[in-house]
């Protein structure tokens, strides 16, 4: 008998809270949709808890760790769900996120109904993602404090991008091997590593795109060692007028991001041409990510939170439409990706 909670959670609610990711999810093979969709919902709920700035960071951290325990099998007779409804749901300005928090009970029931291997994979990815959120809450000050804390070294940024996105590429790869045997060419170890770098490429893009906004809530993901090399400090980055001065720093990080994107392209090409749905699910974020970097490298006001380099929705639909006739061709996929990378590198020049 169908579970109505499952249908609602992985249908209308997922569509409401995931926006562009829902487009990717819908083209996935059926067996992969439920565990990946449920993992997204649980991670999105955790992210909503972690980002609710009207609640003190210590309280958010407590709720986040409680949710992690629940995902990993702890029981509390619904106490956490009631707390989230009372303490967090009412603070949400987006109704879908409020409904998501109020639907965690059914979501945990659906988790328990997954196959053992899928259930463990979902638990692992949600645990890792919440460690990334825990890192944010422990590392950075209260968003309303007026203080800024910067990461220390590039290795810390690299670890952060793994915790919040690289692990997703890893999870995606494991799900593909589990549900679509033979759908990935190449050795599993190499593909898992490429999956990690795929996720890191997307997160590095987010870090650069959202730098101006993150600084204003006290978070500087650009490490001090790199800032020092370019004669900058976090306070300098608060001034949009310093965008041109800080451009060499931006370009250095874009070059690092492009190295990750090259691995993301190889990951996509390791999917056989006949697996159209799986290829599209990987090709879309690659192209959208590269298009975002292209906007960034051309944005002389990249530190201005009012001038974020974000591609418009009609551009997203254009990417989707243009990808359909080329996705089955290795040659055309490579040409598309290399053309975008080449455009970005041309803008970077020798700086």
Distance separating alpha carbons of residues 140 and 156, to the nearest angstrom: 13
102 and 42 in a common domain:
yes
pTM score: 0.91
User: Which two structure tokens, joined as six digits, stand for 225?
Assistant: 């060692």
All residues at 6 or more sequence positions from 233 whose CB lies less than 8 Å from its CB, including other chains = 224, 227
What residues pair up with 150 in beta bridges, in sequence order?
220
Spatial distance between the Cα atoms of 223 and 337, rounded to a whole number of angstroms: 29
In sequence order, what are the residues at sequence separation of 6 or more whose Cβ sits closer than 8 angstroms to the Cβ of residue 210?
A: 308
Residues 92 and 145 in one domain: no
What are the pLDDT tens digits along the chain (351 aa)? Answer: 345 577 888 788 888 888 667 777 777 777 888 899 999 999 999 998 898 888 899 999 999 999 999 999 888 777 887 888 777 776 666 678 888 888 888 899 999 999 999 999 999 999 999 999 999 999 999 999 999 999 999 999 999 999 999 999 999 999 999 988 888 888 999 999 999 999 999 999 999 999 999 999 999 999 999 999 999 999 999 999 999 999 999 999 999 999 999 999 999 999 999 889 889 989 999 999 999 999 999 999 999 999 999 999 899 889 999 999 999 999 999 999 999 999 999 999 855
Nearest Cα residue to 125 out of 197, 42, 49: 42
- Cβ atoms of residues 112 and 119 within 8 Å: yes
CATH code of 237's domain: 1.10.600.10
Among 126, 161, 190, the domain boundary falls at: 126
Number of domains within the chain: 2
Q: What is the pLDDT of residue 160?
A: 97
Last residue of a domain, one of 126, 155, 179: 126
3-state secondary structure of 216: coil
Mark whether 92 and 152 lie in a shared domain. Answer: no
| HSE value, Cβ hemisphere, 13 Å, CA-based, for 241 | 0
Pick from 168, 154, 160: which is nearest to 199 by CA?
A: 168
Task: Please give the Cα distance from 273 to 277 (Å, whole number).
Answer: 10
Range of 14's domain?
Answer: 1-126
* Of the residues 98, 126, 154, the one at which a domain ends: 126
């Amino acid at each position: 008998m169908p579970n109505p909670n499952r249908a609602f959670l992985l249908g209308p609610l997922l569509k409401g809270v995931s926006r562009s990711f829902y487009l990717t999810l819908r083209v996935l093979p059926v067996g992969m949709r439920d565990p990946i969709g449920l993992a997204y919902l649980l991670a999105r709920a955790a992210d909503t808890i972690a980002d609710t700035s009207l609640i003190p960071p210590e309280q958010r951290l407590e709720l986040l760790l409680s949710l992690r325990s629940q995902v990993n099998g702890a029981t509390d007779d619904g106490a956490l769900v009631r707390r989230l409804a009372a303490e967090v749901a009412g603070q949400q300005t987006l109704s879908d996120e409020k409904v998501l928090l109020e639907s965690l009970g059914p979501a945990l029931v659906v988790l328990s109904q997954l196959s053992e291997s899928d259930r463990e994979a979902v638990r692992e990815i949600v645990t890792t993602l919440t460690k990334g959120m825990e890192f944010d809450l422990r590392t950075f000050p209260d968003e309303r404090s007026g203080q800024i804390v910067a990461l220390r070294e590039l290795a810390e940024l690299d670890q952060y991008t793994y915790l919040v996105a690289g692990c997703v590429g890893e999870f995606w790869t494991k799900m593909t091997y589990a549900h679509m045997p033979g759908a990935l060419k190449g050795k599993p170890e190499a593909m898992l590593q490429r999956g990690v770098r795929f996720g890191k490429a997307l997160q590095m893009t987010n870090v650069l795109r959202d730098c101006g906004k993150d600084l204003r809530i006290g978070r500087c993901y650009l490490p001090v060692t790199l800032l020092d090399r370019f004669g900058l400090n976090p306070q300098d980055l608060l001034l949009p007028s310093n965008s041109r001065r800080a451009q060499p720093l931006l370009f250095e990080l874009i070059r690092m991001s492009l190295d990750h994107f090259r691995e993301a392209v190889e990951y996509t090409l390791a999917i056989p041409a006949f697996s159209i749905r799986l290829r599209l699910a990987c090709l879309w974020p690659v192209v959208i990510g590269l298009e975002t970097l292209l906007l960034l490298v051309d944005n002389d006001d990249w530190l201005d939170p009012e001038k974020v380099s974000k591609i418009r929705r009609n551009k997203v639909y254009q990417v989707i439409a243009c990808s359909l006739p080329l996705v089955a061709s290795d040659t055309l996929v490579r040409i598309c990706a290399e053309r975008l990378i080449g455009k970005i590198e041309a803008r970077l020049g020798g700086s």
